[in-house]
Amino acid sequence: MSNSRREFLKAGMLGGVAAAAGLPSLSIAGDSRKSSKPLDILILGGTGFIGPHMVREALRRGHSVTLFNRGRTNNTLFPDLETIKGDRAGDLEVLGNREWHAVVDNSGYMPQYVQNSASKLAPYAGHYIFISSISAYASFSLPNNEDSPLATMADEDAQEFSWEFYGALKARCERAATEEFDADLLTILRPTFICGPGDHTDRFTYWPVRTSKGGEMFWPGSPQHEIQIIDVRDLANFVVDCVEQRISGTYNTVTPVESYTMGRMLEDCQAVTAADIDPVWVDDAFIESFKSADGGKGVSLPIWHPLTGDAAHVSSVSGERAVAAGLRNRPIRETIRDLMTWWDTLPEERIANARFAMDSEQETEIIAAWKDAKA
């Protein structure tokens, strides 16, 4: 290792030393965190949903951020930031031989591309943070922690991405990063459903937006049904904490087990939107049977999932390790409040084309069918 590189990496560690010593430059709660030492951070994919939150948090703490992407997604978002244009599926020579205190790999879905970027960057990066997913676990039939078995797939050489194998591919992406970076220079984060302002999936967003319209509303399962999410800002804060404090290792980034339920979500949605809702709780078995009785149209209920069989513990993924390392989960009511504020700024066309769980026709249909079944 050259002297300059050693000095560079040492500089990267200073933030961590300051944080560990509890110096005022790095106080705990979100908004007041600010680093004493500007770091050079490369983000692979910083313009999707979670990337921009990481970018803003890193900039807010005084770091220097460079983006690497193809220039196709939200490419006017950060006009003042340096963007290295390139496709991670192609030649990575554009990344050159620059040194980075940290690289955040936020767009890794295929193991060979993670392998390529990690091997290209390993000689120059002081720290590699790979954004994985809890989907990387082999099963949710038992509660998972970070040491639980990971998903596998038969086709070890798959060249095409498929959502069917998303989790197994993420697990292999993790392995690819592990092969290129020493354990103390690598962080793997496994988020569950990421929610908050900017979420283009509209999954969690469905519930507060639908609640805001009031009236009789379909709710799945029971108020006691547990769920886990992660606010995108909490994840972004933790990513920047990992960079500054050189936090290595693997962490589930989730809200604590047993901390939140569908019933509490309903309460929070009502409190934020001040809507008058008449909830109709439809039990799991009926929802399942309605799907098949519906000739395939069915209902798709994001965030919520029947807690049975292989998914029995999908809402009991331990987040204790991340909390011990500094992850702070804000109250979900705050997530809902900020989500609604963001939603109200969106153009009409975006709102009209929301990727929602169900439309009002489907909702009326399932409520009517449920009432008939109970009559």
Ligand X SMILES: NC(=O)c1ccc[n+]([C@@H]2O[C@H](COP(=O)([O-])OP(=O)(O)OC[C@H]3O[C@@H](n4cnc5c(N)ncnc54)[C@H](OP(=O)(O)O)[C@@H]3O)[C@@H](O)[C@H]2O)c1
Task: Provide the minimum distance between the beta carbon of 115 and ligand X in the complex, in angstroms, as a whole number.
Answer: 14
Q: Which is nearer to ligand X, 12 or 51 (CB)?
A: 51
CB of 230 to ligand X, least distance (A): 8
Give the H or E element holding residue 19. Answer: helix 3-20
Residues 104 and 179: their CA atoms lie apart, in Å, by 16
Q: Give least dist CB 64 to ligand X, A.
A: 18
Q: How far is the CB of 107 from ligand X (least distance, A)?
A: 3
Q: Let me know how long the chain is.
A: 375
Residue among 35, 66, 69, 115 that touches ligand X (CB under 6 A) = 69
**83/273 with CB nearer ligand X:** 83
Place of tokens 């990496």: 9
What end-to-end distance do the CA atoms of the chain give, in Å?
A: 75
- The answer to the question of residue 331 lying near ligand X (CB under 6 A) is no
Q: How far is CA 174 from the centre of its chain?
A: 15
Contacts to ligand X from residues 187-206, by CB under 6 A = 191, 193-194, 201
Pairing of strands 102-105, 128-131: parallel
Query: Which residues, other chains included, contact 325 with Cβ-Cβ below 8 Å and sequence gap of 6+?
Result: 238, 241, 242, 247, 249, 251
Contacting residue, 87, 146, 288, 294, with ligand X by CB under 6 A:
87
With CB under 6 A as the contact rule, which of the stretches 22-30, 67-75, 151-159, 271-279 interacts with ligand X?
67-75
State the amino acid at position 358 in one-letter form: M
Strand ranges, E, within 86-172: 102-105, 128-131
In the bound state with ligand X, the residue whose beta carbon lies nearer, of 140 and 193, is 193
167 binds ligand X (CB under 6 A): no
Rounded CA-CA distance 107/104 in Å is 9
Q: Looking at 18, 26, 121, 131, which residue binds ligand X (CB under 6 A)? A: 131
Q: List interacting residues with ligand X (CB under 6 A).
A: 45-51, 69-73, 75, 87-89, 106-108, 131, 133, 191, 193-194, 201
